[in-house]
Amino acid sequence: MEVDPSRMPIRSDAPPREERGLGARAARIDRWTLLVVGSAVLLALPVLTVFVAALHPAGAVWRHLVDTVLADYVTDSVSLMLGVGAGTLLIGVPAAWLTGVCEFPGRRLFEWALLLPMAIPAYIIAYTYTGLLDFAGPLQTALRETFGWTRHDYWFPEVRSLPGAVAMLTLVLYPYVYLLARAAFLDQSAAVLEVSRSLGAGPWRRFFGVALPLARPSLIAGVSLVQMEALADYGTVQYFGVSTFTTGIFRVWFGMGDATVAAQLAMVLLLFVFVLLVLERLSRRQARFHHTSARQQRSPRLPLRGQLGGLAVLACLIPLLLGFAIPAGVLAVWAARTAPRVVDERFLQLAAHSLLLAAGAAGLALLLALLLGYGQRLRPRPLVRLAVRGAGLGYAVPGTVIAIGVMLPFAAIDRSVDGWARDWFGVSTGLLLSGTLAALLFAYCARFLPVALHSVEAGLTRIRPSMDDAARALGATPRAVLWRVHAPILRGSLLTALLLVFVDVLKELPATLILRPFNFNTLAVRTYELASDERLADAASFALAIVLAGIAPVILLSRAIGRARPGQ
Amino acid sequence: MTPFLELIDLDVAYPTHKVIRNLTLRMSHAGIGCLLGPSGCGKTTLLRAIAGFEPLRHGSIRLEGVELSRSDWTLPPERRRIGLMFQDLALFPHLSVADNIAFGLRDWKAAERRARVTELLKLVGLEEYSGRYPHQLSGGQQQRVALARALAPRPRLLLLDEPFSNLDVTLREGLAREVRTILLREGASGLLVSHDQFEAFAFADEIGVLHQGRLLQWDSAYNLYHRPADRFVADFIGQGVLLPGRLGGEGRVSTELGELWGTPPAGCAAGEPVEVLVRPDDVVHDDASPLRAEVVDRAFRGAEFLYTLELPSGARLLCLAPSHHNHALGQRIGIRLDIDHRVMFRQGNGEGDDAGVRWGRLLAQ
């Protein structure tokens, strides 16, 4: 395609054109550039810290770790990744094909309901199924009572195990694969499928021979996302006693008090994440080429009747029941039983903590996202782009790693300020940053900024540069353009960004556990504590509050996929 | 009398290259003009410079005698009262049709604003759509809203950046005519940027041909076709071939098709090789003529055939013949020249090489 330089956007508050080119005088640093790059570096600080800390020479603890448990961490983490990847494919792809291309009873309902498991954090579904399925749980008790068995008379799968963790994570993470696979199937040109049909391919061959290979890049992207989430999980694997990197980091950090080794473990975890990230990016890029052409007449849905229709309903109903209906139902029953005892002033205080923290983090992340998004629009130079991309990587970084990356530099700052104050004034300043809400908010921003940034950028791309120019030509000053054109168009995206970060912070567990101020509790932390004390029924009210909040973004998402249906 | 729009010796540049070079253009009075040129010729940049979005490297832009831009100063776009209509229309998605049109009328009194919006809705025939949002309109309707919005504040000049190019070819000319009618009814001046000559012919009274940042000719459509000032213009506007010949005395040129006469190119002495522009309508099919040429290609155009003919020397001609003259490939037919406007160029000067390639392609079609 020919690039017409005259179509490049220019805005009046941008510096003269010659300073905006690739090479020419790019060294000139203006306020916007400085602000954007500065914020981005700050947000990348946790990851950079982990890099630097991991460079320390390996001490005795690390060697001990290598000799004893490192192999376990690797095998358990890899098994978890592979298991969850396979599981989510097995559930997500058929569900996507069925709801995207076929017609069967309840299809419209399943289309969005299949997203509901996203509302449940993995650790909560783990607690719920443990309560339901372990030896003292209602299921095994009922079995024993019915058949008169005692403990050693029967075999029952152990929930609290690696396969159990795989199952739990699969049940709440398959929607990622479902969403991406569905989008891929819907984007596939109807013509390609019709051509294969005219060449004599039946429905099975159309699926395995054409649709599935075409969707492969999207599936890889989906599975990579799922595996990143699986690697980042702490609540489930910790509860089930699975030795992954995240549990290892906690053990080294709290058990052995060795920050360097924790950072080194975090570094290894980051390497895994990095591979997945590259895989995901590459597949997404490839996926674009695989989308033959959009905006076409869709071929009519393939009707499934009789037994096939029944199977289709089952394939969609089972993940919905196991991933949402049963755990949410169980939580509701437990909560109904324990709420009168549990929901007291303390509960409300915790809820208030969670809400304030989530709202604060969401507001802060939104401001930063606006700064980065707008900065990038005003100064589209390579340095700014790179900085914004860098700041956007946080979402791939597990909360545990972020927490360590925040903890180390903040502690170092505290130490040096304290030492300096003692030397000069003879007073100890103690901990200024560590263990404060500021540290926690900073960690949330570093981790969840990309969520907000994504929404803001999506909103900004809808405002074409010609809209700015049109408004200017109609007599609006640059500031008026911002208020009269940008703000109203962006409003929806900004609200979405706020909501998404809000809910993510509400659900977040490991970073909160590590960084929260002493005696400061949130809904998520309290759920974790009660579950650790085997008070699963008591945890239900806290968990249910988180799940209910989590449904809001699912609704947003389901509306978005409803709108994105081509040809409507 | 002060000219309406003056562009004096403009240079507009990007870091890597100059886009507009020493361009001078005078639109003597308000009216409807067009800048025509192939993509990448700098026409959109020129438009944006007039609107105030591109600073000048050199030169000056004046509208009704008042300076708007010079090399060290640019009046901001919002203070120029120059309307702009974009290729992608750039309608505000969050505003209704009426609010889009009223966007530029912020400083007007409410009653006047309402009256103006109503007037424009009527002008573009969208009275019933005032409450709709852009995404609820068809492409043609969106086009009208964009036009009404640009016209609402009564701009002194309306700039149109290829606003029809995303429409179907069959619709373009019609819409260009319609917009022209609306501009005339509003008494507004317009300057269109286009790469489509038929669109330009339908829309503008005067047309400027732009090539590689230079203005080659500013003239009426008729003159651009029949009296091109330049080989590039001759090539870009319409079809035709350049027939080689040798200049004799008193403007006589001897060619393979006999002796022609006309105004020789400046500085061309007798005996020098020249080229004569021969349009397809200059070559008349005449069975009685002793001049013969072989049909090497033909395109059926309904009412007529466009024949590509080869002369014994290998030179080629285009000939437009009524479609009942049905000749097969390879047939030798009689032709005769009937040229009203003899245009000559010195052989192989200026853009000659470039043009030569294009001629070859034209003939190969």
The string of DSSP codes covering B251-274 is: GEEEETTEEEE-PPPTTPPTT-EE
Nearest C-alpha of chain A: how many angstroms from B232? 21
Q: What tokens does A7 get?
A: 């179509």
Q: How far is A567 from chain B (nearest CA, A)?
A: 14
User: Closest chain B residue to A485 measured between Cα atoms?
Assistant: B92
| Whether the predicted pLDDT of B356 surpasses 70 | no
Q: Poorest-confidence range of A64-73, B96-105, B165-174?
A: B165-174
What is the pLDDT at residue A263?
A: 86
A-chain residues within 8 Å CB-CB of B44?
Answer: 4, 6-7
User: In the predicted model, what is the mean pLDDT of residues A533-543?
Assistant: 88
For a pLDDT cut of 70, what percent of chain A falls above it? 90
Give the Cα separation of A215 and A177 in Å (integer). Answer: 11
Using CB atoms, pick whichever of A24, A471, A485 lies closest to residue B15. A24
Task: State yes or no: pLDDT of A380 exceeds 90.
Answer: no
The answer to whether A543 touches A536, Cβ cutoff 8 Å, is no
Mean pLDDT within B300-316? 87
Distance CA B218, CA B210 (A): 9
Q: What is the reported pLDDT for B360? A: 35
pLDDT of A290: 54
Helices A259-290, A70-101: axis angle to 10 degrees equals 30
Both tokens of A319, joined, read 């993940």
Q: Is 90 exceeded by the pLDDT of residue A412?
A: no
Q: How confident is the model at residue B94 (pLDDT cuts 50, 70, 90)?
A: confident
Which member of A5, A18, A470 has the closest CB to residue B90?
A470
Token couple for A409: 């530099």
B196-246 pLDDT tens trace = 888 899 899 999 999 888 888 999 988 888 888 888 888 888 888 888 888
Longest C-alpha distance within chain B, in Å?
76
pLDDT score for A9: 37
Lowest mean pLDDT among A290-294, A343-347, A493-497, A514-518: A290-294
Distance CA A548, CA B64 (A): 66
For the CA atoms of A274, A275, A276, A282, the dihedral, rounded to the nearest 10 degrees, stands at: 110
B interface mutation test: which of A11, A474, A481 has the most B CBs within 10 A?
Answer: A474
- Residues of chain B positioned with their CB less than 8 A from the CB of A488: 94
Q: Inter-chain contact A472–B15, Cβ cutoff 8 Å? A: no
A382 vs A391: CA distance, rounded Å: 14
Considering A198-202, A279-283, B98-102, the range whose residues carry the highest mean pLDDT is B98-102
Q: What is the pLDDT of residue A234?
A: 92
Chain A residues with CB under 8 Å of B80 CB are: 473
Q: At A275, which helix (H) or strand (E)?
A: helix A259-290
Has residue A564 got a pLDDT over 80? no
A118, A172 contact by CB (below 8 A): yes
Residues of A in contact with B81 (CB under 8 A): 475
Q: Do B86 and A475 touch (CB under 8 A)?
A: no
> What pLDDT shows up at residue A169?
95
Q: Copy the structure tokens of residue A350.
A: 């915790």
Better pLDDT: A116 or A33: A116
User: Tokens 């438009």 appear where?
Assistant: B47
Work out the average pLDDT over A525-536: 88
Q: B349, B347, B341, B346: which is closest to B261 by C-alpha?
A: B341
Chain segment B2-33, per-residue pLDDT in tens: 889 999 999 998 877 788 888 888 888 888 99
pLDDT classification of A28: cutoffs 50, 70, 90: low
The label of the residue with tokens 């390879």 reads: B330
Please state, in angstroms and rounded to a whole number, the distance separating the CA atoms of residues A427 and A381: 47
Query: Taking 60 as the threshold, does the pLDDT of residue A17 lie above it?
Result: no
Q: How far is B339 from chain A (nearest CA, A)?
A: 39
β pairing state of B283-285 and B332-337: antiparallel
Q: Choose among A96, A158, A97, A108: nearest CA to A129.
A: A158
Say yes or no for a CB contact (<8 Å) between A475 and B78: yes
Asked if pLDDT for residue A318 goes beyond 90, the answer is yes
A71-80 pLDDT tens trace: 889 999 999 9
Q: What's the confidence (pLDDT) of residue A29?
A: 66
* Mean pLDDT on B74-102: 89
Distance from the A12 Cα atom to the nearest Cα atom in chain B, whole angstroms: 7
- Helix/strand number for chain A, H first, E second: 25, 2
| A279 or A93: which leads in pLDDT | A93
Structure tokens at A557: 């998402």
Mean pLDDT estimate for chain A: 83
Q: Given an 8 Å threshold on Cβ–Cβ distance, is A474 in contact with B94?
A: no
Alpha-helical runs (H) found in chain B: 43-51, 97-102, 110-123, 139-151, 169-186, 197-203, 221-226, 231-236, 352-364
Higher pLDDT, residue B72 or A24: B72
With beta carbons less than 8 A apart as the criterion, state whether A123 and A527 touch: yes
**Higher pLDDT among residues B165 and A47, named by residue:** A47
Task: Say whether pLDDT at A164 is over 60.
Answer: yes
Please report the pLDDT score of residue B96 as a whole number.
92
Minimum-distance CB partner of B42 among A6, A16, A464 = A6
What is the pLDDT averaged over residues A113-138?
90
Point out which residues pair with B158 in neighbouring strands. B83, B190
What is the percent of chain A with per-residue pLDDT over 90, rounded to a whole number? 24
Kindly list the residues from chain A whose CB atom is less than 8 angstroms away from the CB atom of residue B49: none
Kindly report the backbone phi and psi dihedral angles of residue B364, in degrees, each rounded to the nearest multiple of 5, phi listed first: -75, -15
Q: How far apart (Å, rounded) are the C-alpha atoms in residues B275 and B343?
A: 8
The phi, psi pair for B351, rounded to 5°, reads -85, 15
Q: How far apart are CA A15 and CA A31, in angstroms?
A: 11
Query: Cα separations (Å) of B325 from A392, B242, B286, B304, B316?
Result: 70, 25, 10, 8, 19
pLDDT of residue A287: 65
Band (B346; pLDDT cuts 50, 70, 90): confident
What pLDDT is recorded for position B214? Answer: 85
CB contacts, 8 Å: A490 with chain B: none
Interface size between A and B, measured as CB pairs under 8 A:
96
Residue pair A46/A446 in contact (Cβ under 8 Å)? The answer is yes
Listed residue (A565, A566, A568) closest to A112, CA to CA = A565
Closest Cα in chain B, distance from residue A476 (Å): 6
Nearest chain B residue to A477 by CA: give it: B78
Query: Quick check: B150 and A5 CB within 8 A?
Result: no
Q: In this complex, do B44 and A462 lie within 8 Å of one another by their Cβ atoms?
A: no
Separation CA A213–CA A42 (nearest Å): 42
ipTM computed for the complex: 0.75
What local confidence, expressed as pLDDT, does residue A88 receive?
95
Q: How confident is the model at residue B324 (pLDDT cuts 50, 70, 90)?
A: confident
- Give the residue numbers in B contacting A (CB under 8 Å), as ranges: 14-16, 19, 39-40, 42, 44-45, 48, 51-55, 76-84, 86-88, 90, 92-94, 103-104, 106-107, 149-150, 152-153
> Is the confidence at residue A8, as pLDDT, over 60?
no
pLDDT at residue A292 greater than cutoff 50: no
Share of chain B above pLDDT 70, in %: 95
For residue A6, pLDDT beyond 80: no
- Among the partner-chain residues B39, B92, B149, the one whose CB lies closest to the CB of A2 is B39
Q: Report residue A189's pLDDT band, with 50, 70 and 90 as the boundaries.
A: low
Say how many residues make up chain B. Answer: 365
**What pLDDT score does A13 carry?**
39
Query: Has residue B278 got a pLDDT over 70?
Result: yes
CB contact under 8 A, A4 and B40: yes
Shortest Cα distance, chain B CAs vs residue A523, angstroms: 39
Q: Per-residue confidence at A20, pLDDT binned at 50, 70, 90? A: very low
Q: List the single residue in B40, B44, B87 with the smallest CB-CB distance to A2.
A: B40
Q: Which one, of B34, B351, B20, B355, lies nearest residue B218 by Cα?
A: B34
Distance CA A107, CA A542 (A): 33
The confidence band for B364, taking pLDDT boundaries of 50, 70 and 90, is very low
Smallest CA–CA distance from B90 into chain A, residue: A467
Q: Show residues of chain B in contact with A473, CB under 8 Å.
A: 51, 77-78, 80, 82-84, 150
Closest partner CB to A473 (pick from B19, B84, B87): B84
Cβ B76–A24 below 8 Å, yes or no? no
Q: Given a cut of 50, is residue A15 above it in pLDDT?
A: no
Length reported for chain A? 568
Q: Which long-range contacts (CB under 8 A, 24 or more apart) does A345-349 make?
A: A347/A541, A347/A542
